[in-house]
Chain A
Amino acid sequence: MTWRPTAVAGAPALLANAAVAHAFVQPYTLPVPFWLYLYACAATVVLTFAVVSYFVSVPAAATADWRIPARSSGGRATTVPGWALGGLRTLAVGCLLLSVVSGLIGTRDPDANINITLFWVVFVLVFTYATVLVGDVFALINPWRTIVEWFETSSSGPKRTPLAYPARLGYWPALLSYVGLIWLELFTLPPPRGVSIVLLVYSLVTFAGVWLFGKAAWFRYGELFSVLLRFVGLLAPVEYQRSADADRFEVRLRWPLSGALIERPEKSLSLVLFVLFMLSSTTFDGMHETIVWMSLFWKHLVVVFQPLWGTDLIASQRMLEHWYVAYQRAGLVLSPLLYLGFYFAILLALKAVTRTTIPLRDLAREFAFTVLPIAVVYNMAHYWTLLLTRIPKLPYLVSDPFGYHWHLLGLGRPAEPPPLNMSAIWNTEVALILVGHLAGVYLAHRIALRVFPSRRDAILSQIPMLILMVSYTVMGLWVISQPLALE
């Protein structure tokens, strides 16, 4: 079996990679057949379930102290130095401004304008992955929040907000922004100028939300990146807590994943959908240009709707292409609902085997964060090749951010990138998927111990969850294999 990437999976497509394209990549022959990868990974997930069930007991869950004592500081949290906070905030605002300005005045070439790489790759991808390691730093340095607070300082303090944030709004504004972001990535592909305009509009919406509902509410529920990175940060071994005077942050270590156990998800369907969209949007990204997905429309759905367009496919293709566009868009928007349906089905099975009286919505909320590690690693696996090809170009973009042929750092022209090592890429992607799912199994089990009164019920409840995890694993491996070709 020989595999080779034919297109760089990842966002945005405007950054597809030339080196890969010219087919200089050496083919990679899988040491074992693909189906063996599927079985092996699924078996690992099952085995982990058995091990976790055996060793992690109810008392252990009940008495767990997730925080790691900081011996050097006598168990106390450390305060983030003010100069570091100020520096990082200024840097974040600077990056936002650079993204906006470079798109407006720089080259139209997305490869040569820094704003595409800075926004899509550095911020949306790399910063998200870094958050898994260093915690929700974004909560400290969010540039939109910084601008709001600078404005408050210069205008003598925060004003009263016209409205209280309605509870029923939940995370819907953030989810709407999230769908919009992925929509832009997959369907609109804004060039540098377009990204600048999107950032400006998003900034205005954010400031409007803050003005209307107050910064605490809006940055907790409404602002996409605050919500996304807070959720991702729950997996990190570092937590930050705002001090009483609100301008100091305390940092302390904790066990990895423990944030997802400490924080109880709020009662909101929008939260569950948000987390599921983190997974389903990446799956859709991997799926929507495959033959399987395209054929579903052109070979099957068009047949169903034949009375509406006739019998001559070619004669009707212009109209059908409009339908196809709608089909693609609908696929993205409806993808979290599909995942929600599957998730609910699993939870119904869980209710049946445990005979619990806990309402379905509460169960959905309780187990929502088990999807987080899966969503994050799947995202990393999906964008791995994009990162490998774009990150080396970042210094050159810093040296010439607007594409004006500047040499601010004296780096010269970027060298031809070496061929991608497909063996390393494939194995990294498989390892990432596997680690994420094992983390999901662990989280699900610990949450089950919290939700159910007996260890027996907790273990029983995990059998349907195990089916969910194995399904995600197989689906994830299949989708990341789609940009690769089988010989």
Chain B
Amino acid sequence: MSVSSSPIGVRRARLLGALATVCAAAVLSGMAVQGVASPDESRVPWTGPVPKAHCRSGDHTESGLQGQTTLAERLGGAAARGFNCNLELVGQFQGEGAFHAQAWTDVCSYYSTADSPLQAHPGVAVIDVSDPSAPKAVAYMNAPSMLQTWESLKVSEERKLIAAVESEGGAGLNPGFAVYDISDCRNPVLQASIDLPVPKNTIRGHAGAIAPDGRTYYGSYYPVSLYVIDIADPTNPKLMLNWIPPGGVGAPHDLSISDDGTRAYIMNPGTGASGKNGLVILDVSDFQYRRPNPEPRVIGTLFWPDGGIAMTSQPIKIDGHPYLLASDELGPTITNHQSACAQNLPPFGFPRLIDLADETEPKTVSLLKLEVDDPANCPQLANDPALTGTFGYSAHYCRADDAQDTKLVACSRHEAGVRVFDVSNPYRPREVAYYKPPIHTGANLPGSGINTVANRTFDWSKSNSRFLTRNGVRELWITSADNGFQVLRFTNRRHGDEGRSDDDRSRD
């Protein structure tokens, strides 16, 4: 007689079944608590430092906080070798040094230089990267507005145009604008180099963006006005409007334009305490569609108190969902990093991901912080020169590997080098790689953007970074002030493993 066939056995079997169900539920709930997050929990915004990258053995890694270069590293020789984690240098063109901006198309990189009278080759360097191990300068764009582009050097891939506004010292001396045709990427052809028809000091360029269709350029007079230039005919640019935002809401630093050209994602700079540092989304469809009497309209804002001098943006999609990749150039107390620490605020500016599903109410979903951004770590930064430096470890540009299907983003972070994050789960970002270029010693490079810094024990990484996959290898193109143009390679060569260490893969 089986137990289950008797009445007592049936009751026992039911009891055991119930116990098994309870146990299974307990185990499952325990799993959820231990890391298998429920759907709701997985959508809690990530606000702490992201998990550190697992670096390959043999990499020359940081020994202090994530992002930090310690005093011993700076002055004991380690920083002179640079630092790397899952990225390695493939090729370099140091040239005369680099300034803030990098743009690209096909096999060419374009990077700005400092506009020093000592430069042999002033203007934007055109780099042929057909051979990643031997990039070389093949031309220089030296229209007046290309001599110091600040953050305005942008490309329209669709129309093969590159353009910039005149930006000496971050506030152009003249309302200059230049646009080149880069259909043959190695041989840019000047289409126009003009001064916009406005009185002196009405427009002083700093940054800008070109609409993806290449018909409109948006210049930024930081933090005063947004000026829109019609480049439908690139040989005859026309100023459409110089818009001074009412109440300063929409005052631009850098900006980006949506794929359809109807939205401008303005980074509105301020201190954290100002309540005006963050994102302003503008409807710019009047300009895109060339409507009469065009005017931008504010359709959404998101200001945050934990950053300062909002810097850059890029609209991206992760699993088809729209986000904005944004960064702050400084912390909430601007350059007063020590003041931030004193107030338990992040000392440096960092990137963040913003959900754009409802563009009238954008929401932050994760902060791409490093340990150096956490005020709890301020005591470990007490003797760090970055804490008294201008930008320290703050972010500058961020760029996604693929704006339509983003998995990785690379952010330049001044003294912290270039940091690569896996954002495939936007609520659980993690760092997967970094590269800190070595300190340059010896005479200053005249085109370098860091020559204005005395007592330096670092290089400045400020540029946009380009992800490019060739021959099964994923490259990362970066520039830094003293090291110029550099081609890096993710050391895990299998496609899809970028930035993942052997340890990561073995855990899989």
Contact = CB atoms under 8 A, between A and B. Distances in A.
A289 B455 contact: yes
B343 A298 contact: no
Interface in B381-402: 382-383, 385, 388-391
Given A21-B334, A108-B343, A482-B455, A313 B72 contact: yes
Interface residues of B, number: 47
A147 interface: no
A270 B453 CA distance: 39
Interface string A3-22: 01011000001111110111
B300 interface: no
Contacts of B338: 13-14, 16, 189
A26 interface: yes
B385 A289 contact: yes
B388 to A, nearest CB: 6
A328 B171 CA distance: 39
B71 interface: yes
A151 B343 CA distance: 37
A446 B116 CA distance: 49
B221 to A, nearest CB: 12
A321 B343 CA distance: 24
B359 interface: no
A279 to B, nearest CB: 22
A230 B385 CA distance: 37
B388 A289 contact: yes
B452 A485 contact: yes
A25 B169 CA distance: 7
A202 B5 CA distance: 90
Interface stretch (B73-81, B134-142, B361-369): B73-81
B85 to A, nearest CB: 15
A222 interface: no
B452 A4 contact: yes
Interface in A295-343: 295, 297-299, 302, 313-314, 316-317, 320-321, 324-325, 328
Interface size grouping (class) on chain A: 35 or more
Given A482-B455, A483-B454, A18 B334 contact: yes
Contacts of A316: 72
A116 to B, nearest CB: 9
Contacts of B389: 6-7
A27 B117 CA distance: 12
Given A6-B454, A13-B388, A27-B452, A320 B72 contact: yes
Contacts of B446: 487
B63 interface: yes
A27 B76 CA distance: 31
Interface in A267-313: 289-291, 294-295, 297-299, 302, 313
B342 A191 contact: yes
B410 to A, nearest CB: 23
Contact of A6 (B169, B382, B444, B453): B453
Contacts of A297: 75
B333 interface: yes
Interface string B212-226: 000000000001000
Contacts of B330: 18, 21-22
B63 A485 contact: no
B309 interface: yes
Given A18-B336, A23-B452, A485-B452, A291 B76 contact: no
A380 B330 CA distance: 29
Given A6-B453, A314-B73, A21 B335 contact: yes
B355 to A, nearest CB: 29
Nearest to B116: A487
A487 to B, nearest CB: 4
B112 interface: no
Contact of A290 (B63, B271, B329, B455): B455
Most-contacted residue by chain B among A20, A25, A110 (CB, 10 A): A110
A109 B333 contact: yes
A7 B118 CA distance: 25
A109 B132 CA distance: 48
A486 B159 CA distance: 41
B335 A325 contact: no
Contacts of A22: 170, 309, 329-330, 334-335
B443 to A, nearest CB: 11
A24 B76 contact: no
Given A289-B455, A487-B446, A18 B71 contact: no
A272 to B, nearest CB: 32
Interface string B439-452: 00000101000011
Contacts of B73: 314, 317
A484 interface: yes
B20 interface: no
B334 A191 contact: no
A316 to B, nearest CB: 8
A111 B345 CA distance: 14
B71 A14 contact: no
Contacts of B456: 291
Interface string A345-357: 0000000000000
Given A112-B273, A487-B446, A24 B171 contact: yes
A316 B78 CA distance: 14
A2 interface: yes
Contacts of B457: 291, 294
Contact of B383 (A6, A18, A109, A321): A321
Contacts of B406: none
B339 interface: yes
Contacts of A24: 169-171
A191 B343 contact: yes
A193 B306 CA distance: 21
A53 to B, nearest CB: 38
A320 B74 CA distance: 14
Given A14-B338, A27-B452, A299-B75, 7 more contacts: A2-B116, A109-B273, A110-B342, A298-B71, A302-B76, A314-B76, A328-B383
22 contacts: A6-B454, A7-B389, A13-B338, A16-B336, A20-B335, A21-B330, A25-B169, A109-B333, A110-B336, A111-B333, A191-B343, A299-B76, A313-B76, A313-B78, A314-B73, A317-B71, A321-B72, A419-B171, A482-B455, A483-B454, A486-B451, A487-B116
Closest 8 CB pairs of A and B: A21-B335, A298-B75, A317-B72, A18-B334, A191-B342, A485-B454, A313-B76, A487-B451
Interface of B: 63-64, 70-78, 116, 118, 168-171, 223, 271, 273, 309, 329-330, 333-336, 338-339, 342-343, 382-383, 385, 388-391, 444, 446, 451-457
